[in-house]
Amino acid sequence: MAERWINAGLLAGLGLVALWAWAAGAPFTVTLATKVAILALAAAGLNLALGIGGLVSLGHAVFFGIGGYAMGVLASHAQAYDPIFTRPFVFEGTKSMPFIWLAAIAVGALAAWVIGRISLRTSGVYFIMITLAFGQMFYYLAISWPAYGGEDGLSIYVRNGFPGLDTLDPIQFFGICFAILLIVLWCMARIAASPFGLALNAARQAPTRVMASGIDPDRLRLWAFVVSGAVTGLAGALYADLNRFVSPTMFSWQVSGELIVLIILGGVGRLCGPVAGAALFVVLEQWLGGLSEYWQVFLGLLLLAVVLAGRGGIVGLLARVPSRG
Amino acid sequence: MAEPRLSLRGVTRAFGALRVSDAVDLDLRQGEIHALIGPNGAGKSTLIAQICGALRPDAGRILLEGRDVTAWDVPRRARAGLGRTFQVSSLASEDTALQNVMLAVAGRGGRLRVWSRALGRGDLTAPAREALAQVGLEGEAHTPVGALSHGAWRRVEIACALAMAPRALVMDEPLAGLGTEGVADLSALLRRVKVRAPILLVEHDMDAVFALADRVSVLVGGRIIATGPGEAIRQNAGVQDAYLGPVS
Ligand SMILES: Nc1ncnc2c1ncn2[C@@H]1O[C@H](COP(=O)(O)OP(=O)(O)O)[C@@H](O)[C@H]1O
Ligand SMILES: [Mg+2]
């Protein structure tokens, strides 16, 4: 099967499941589909750095959490009518999603730029360790920041607003997240097919060739990391809005690990690998999680099988299915 | 006489007590193939690393068309027109031959667009196809490099270098592992290439060197002990002692 048909099928499937659940009066399933879309978005961000750029970041929870806290800080001030700052003008925070998204993208990109500048001096296992260290740093920073809930996190009582939509209606909030996922995947496809994507992909396989071509691979990687952090940050803001809650666990290294797992399950570097991986992850979490609290053992076995079968993941597996005609 | 395309002046580098480059002077002139030969461990590869910018000399200068590039890094020297091929494949093996060469075209321009289709851009694909045609690989444009034969990826490496419109080329053992026929084919290609950009050629196959090279420099223990036309080098007593052995 051609990968574009697999991609179309995966995305249409996700949309149809949500619509069907909405029509059948199953709002919880709509919420699960929303979670799939948001996790896929977070992993799509990581996929640019990891899948194409070859940067195994075990610290992407930093950007997810930062996006979450961008939402939490802005919305908690707004809901308490407690200005974030009063000079040079009074800023009360905001409950407006578009504004929150821009803030999450900006802080995600900024954090990725700083962390990337430092981490990209290393490579291989040192890069993994230094990104992990940043993740732990942010985790403990969030815990020790009492103004924003510390260990208990922050509750946002009413979901933030989007002009013209009722965001508390699960299907409408799904629509927002799904639309953002589609837009970001479209952007990712364009980036991957661009000269920049060509060079980034080559820098993973053959950095000396990239340098001999007059291109500095570390600059490519830094830009990829910044875009990656911005997208994962945006996903963090949406995830916080889904739960109407942020806490330091968004920064935990388990979250970073899960994002990597999603990508490996779905297919490293494949455009819709994150979608396939997130869908499988959420389904397993629901079904197996109901059977046993040790459901992650099964996830581990599945991961093992996928890794042994090669780098293609689910999307790669489907692509090997011969098409008729 | 025209200015050399590439010159080394007193290039010196040591690893601890080991002098791998010892006051090396070398010129690469327009239109020539200049072979750099010498025994294993003589310092050929480290000299190339210094020419290309991967390794800093402790002293001395490297000039590309008269410009001092000693402080420049690898990508900047490449953009300035220093092309190179590697002893072991440097290519992105999952990518096609065309994509590998397009990368060189994109790098030469110095601007990597994020928002346009690489394959849809004629300003990238046309020069890349032309470079592939020059090395006789237009038919393999869409083959992943990993699936190409040894001789073919050597040619892709050369196509990448050509696609950068180089002013000087440095090639590390391009003939290694090719077999008699392959060596003849690639030698013919190098003769065509040198007209566009002179080649500094590191090579172990002495028959090929003396057949190809306009001039030969002999490096022993980090020092150039002789430079001259092939025949003169072959007859040079010092070179025979140090490296080639007596002419049979
Ligand atoms: N990074 C390094 N550190 C220490 N010694 C090195 C290093 N690179 C090369 N050498 C030494 O420098 C000498 C020249 O090596 P090289 O340039 O590879 O020789 P050639 O290519 O002529 O065979 C060798 O003795 C080698 O062991
Ligand atoms: Mg060598």
**pLDDT tens readout for residues A52-77:** 999 999 999 999 999 999 999 999 99
Task: Report yes or no: A200 and A206 within 8 Å, Cβ to Cβ.
Answer: no
Q: Six-digit token pair at B97?
A: 């031959």
Q: Which residue of chain B has the CA closest to A216?
A: B75
Ligand 1 binding pocket includes B16 (Cβ within 6 Å): no
Q: What is the mean pLDDT of residues A126-139?
A: 96
Smallest CA–CA distance, residue A243 to chain B, in Å, is 34
- The one-letter code for the residue type at A28 is F
CB contact under 8 A, B104 and A191: no
d(CA B190, CA B199): 8
Record the pTM: 0.92
Mean pLDDT in chain B?
A: 92
Task: Report yes or no: A140 and A61 within 8 Å, Cβ to Cβ.
Answer: no
Q: Kindly tell me if the per-residue pLDDT of B109 is higher than 90.
A: no
Identify the pLDDT of residue A157. 92
Encode pLDDT of A28-43 as tens digits. 999 999 999 999 999 9
Q: Kindly tell me if the per-residue pLDDT of A96 is higher than 90.
A: yes
Q: What percent of chain A has pLDDT over 70?
A: 99
Sign (positive or negative) of CA dihedral A60, A64, A69, A71: positive
Smallest CA–CA distance, residue B151 to chain A, in Å, is 18
Per-residue pLDDT band for A8 (boundaries 50, 70, 90) equals: very high
Q: Kindly tell me if the per-residue pLDDT of B106 is higher than 50.
A: yes
| Neighbouring-strand partners of residue A256 | none
Identify the pLDDT of residue B113. 78
Q: Kindly tell me if the per-residue pLDDT of B133 is higher than 50.
A: yes
Q: Kindly tell me if the per-residue pLDDT of B91 is higher than 90.
A: yes
d(CA A13, CA A34): 13
Q: What is the mean pLDDT of residues A241-263?
A: 96
- Which tops the pLDDT comparison, B117 or B24? B24
Q: Six-digit token pair at A320?
A: 């090997």
Identify the pLDDT of residue A198. 95
Instruction: Name the phi and psi angles at A292, rounded to 5.
Output: -150, 145
- Closest ligand 1 atom to the C-alpha of B48? 17
In chain B, which residues have their Cβ closer than 8 Å to the Cβ of A209? Answer: 86, 90-92, 100, 103, 160
Encode pLDDT of B24-64 as tens digits. 999 999 999 999 999 999 999 999 999 999 999 999 999 99
Dihedral (C-alpha) A42, A44, A48, A52: value to the nearest 10 degrees? 140
ipTM, 2 decimals? 0.91
Q: Kindly tell me if the per-residue pLDDT of B248 is higher than 70.
A: no
Task: Report yes or no: A52 and A204 within 8 Å, Cβ to Cβ.
Answer: yes
Per-residue pLDDT band for A320 (boundaries 50, 70, 90) equals: confident
Identify the pLDDT of residue A308. 84
Mean pLDDT in chain A?
A: 94
Identify the pLDDT of residue A325. 41
- Which tops the pLDDT comparison, B110 or B62? B62
Q: Kindly tell me if the per-residue pLDDT of B136 is higher than 70.
A: yes
Residue A301 class from Cβ within 10 Å (0-12 exposed, 13-18 middle, 19+ buried)?
exposed
Per-residue pLDDT band for B166 (boundaries 50, 70, 90) equals: very high
Q: What is the mean pLDDT of residues A270-278?
A: 96
d(CA B79, CA A212): 9
